[in-house]
Amino acid sequence: MQSVQVGALRLPAIAVGCMYLDRIGEAERREFIAAALGEGMNFFDHADIYGGGECESAFGEAFAKLNIPRDSIVLQSKCGIVPGKMFDFSEKHIVESVEGSLKRLRTDYLDGLLLHRPDALMQPEEVAAAFDKLERQGKVRYFGVSNMHPYQIELLKSCVRQPLVADQLQFSPAHAGMISCGTEANMLTEGGISRDGYILDYCRLHGIAVQAWSPFRYGFFEGVFLGDPKFQKLNDVLEKIGKKYSVDKAAAVAAWILRHPAKTQVITGTTKVGHLLDIAKGADVAITREEWYEIYLSAGHILP
Ligand SMILES: NC(=O)c1ccc[n+]([C@@H]2O[C@H](COP(=O)([O-])OP(=O)(O)OC[C@H]3O[C@@H](n4cnc5c(N)ncnc54)[C@H](OP(=O)(O)O)[C@@H]3O)[C@@H](O)[C@H]2O)c1
């Protein structure tokens, strides 16, 4: 498995997102985690809110039964969303959220903690106090953010001492505003509008790893583009390029994300062993520049 540098760690290019782990049975969950580990995918992405906490609990229970050393896996979680109510980056919320995650995951430390979505009332001093406390207590080893644009990261950096090593962002061929705002710079086109403050270039300049969430979806959880007739051209091109490298369409998507020179990690959401193993094959495929652009254009983007 190809790896990606995230702060001081080298992590598998294909990460296992755990947002739907509560939707499968216990035995299936153990099989899923074991299969991921068997392929070198030992990085698991969580959040305190996934399944209302059930996903972390389900993982913790399954992992305990597998009897595998804790230090052979990397656990990342997120905090800062109070579903349906507010975002909360207060010191109290961050610290209590991590303590809840630790309990549910049955571990005494998180490898990584991300701030899930920007809190409008964010006070960087409070975040810094929470991070210092969690680091001092050995409860979190690295820190990062999610869904943030450059100035939000800069604001945090004005107080936070620890490096912010990752920004988890939605990214797929069908959700590629991070690319189009660059290729369509200074154009009056829809794609030329930056909705993220040019975060991709910022992350590259500052050595921040991009973690691509929802690699197979479009819109805001509107659906999966794989096999969707609305994305016929994209599916046809993914199929053709996948065939060339003897992989399926999902692996071709992973190869497309990983082909970008930013330090991107693919955060998958499948809970099916077969799908996960198919996607993993994409990490070993190096598509050409021409193929990368062909996939991009087939998703409906333009080149001015
Ligand atoms: N930071 C954030 O704000 C944020 C937001 C959302 C998600 N996330 C993270 O990102 C992870 C992934 O999110 P996601 O679940 O939306 O991403 P995703 O992997 O793009 O979507 C998962 C969907 O893709 C389907 N799929 C995967 N492989 C397939 C294949 N070969 N053929 C057909 N369908 C296939 C899955 O179906 P099957 O289950 O049937 O395979 C599932 O319905 C989450 O688990 C979470 O860790 C982070």
Digit-coded pLDDT (tens) for 136-195: 999 999 999 999 999 999 999 999 999 999 999 999 999 999 999 999 999 999 999 999
pLDDT of residue 109: 98
Measured CA to CA, the distance from residue 64 to residue 175 in angstroms comes to: 36
Report whether 97 contacts 48 (CB < 8 A). yes
97 lines ligand 1 (CB under 6 A): no
Q: Is the CB of 267 under 6 A from ligand 1?
A: yes
User: Averaged over 33-51, what is the pLDDT?
Assistant: 97
CA of 15 to the centre of ligand 1 (A): 11
Q: Whose CA is nearest to atom 25 of ligand 1?
A: 270
Cα-Cα-Cα-Cα dihedral of 287, 292, 294, 297, to 10°? 160
Q: Residues 294, 298, 301, CA angle at the centre, nearest 5°? A: 100
169 lines ligand 1 (CB under 6 A): no
275 lines ligand 1 (CB under 6 A): yes
Catalytic residue list: 50
pLDDT digits (tens, 9 = 90+) for 229-240: 999 999 999 999
- What average pLDDT does the segment 104-118 reach? 98
Give 208-221 pLDDT, tens digit per residue: 999 999 999 999 98
pLDDT category at 94 given cuts 50, 70, 90 is very high
Backbone angles phi, psi at 265, to 5 degrees: -115, 140
pLDDT band at 123 (very low <50, low <70, confident <90, very high): very high
Which CATH superfamily is 3-172+195-219+263-276 part of? NADP-dependent oxidoreductase domain (3.20.20.100)
Query: Which atom of ligand 1 is closest in space to residue 78's alpha carbon?
Result: 1
Which pLDDT score, from 0 to 100, does residue 263 have?
Answer: 74
Instruction: Answer yes or no: is pLDDT of 282 > 80.
Output: yes
Percent of the chain predicted with pLDDT > 90: 99
Ligand 1 proximity of 115 Cβ (cutoff 6 Å):
no
Any atom of ligand 1 within 6 Å of the Cβ of 216: yes
Average pLDDT, the chain: 97
pLDDT at 1 over 90: no
Of ligand 1's listed atoms, the one at least distance from the Cα of 215 is 20
Confidence band (pLDDT; 50, 70, 90) for 11? very high
What tens digit of pLDDT does each residue of 55-72 get?
Answer: 999 999 999 999 999 999
Please tell me the predicted confidence (pLDDT) of residue 111. 98
Confidence check: pLDDT of 47 > 90:
yes
**What's the pLDDT at 214?**
98
C-alpha 119 – ligand 1 centre gap (Å): 24
| Sign of the Cα pseudo-torsion (271, 217, 279, 241, in order) | positive
Which residue has its alpha carbon closest to ligand 1 atom 10?
Answer: 213
CB of 214 sitting under 6 A from ligand 1: yes
Q: Which atom of ligand 1 is nearest to the CA of 114?
A: 1
pLDDT band at 50 (very low <50, low <70, confident <90, very high): very high
CA 247 – ligand 1 centroid, Å:
18
Strands (E), the chain: 3-6, 9-12, 14-17, 43-45, 74-79, 81-82, 86-87, 110-115, 140-146, 164-170, 209-213, 217-218, 223-224, 264-268
Task: Return the domain boundaries, the chain.
Answer: 3-172+195-219+263-276
Please tell me the predicted confidence (pLDDT) of residue 3: 95
Q: How far is the CA of 249 from the centre of ligand 1 (A)?
A: 14
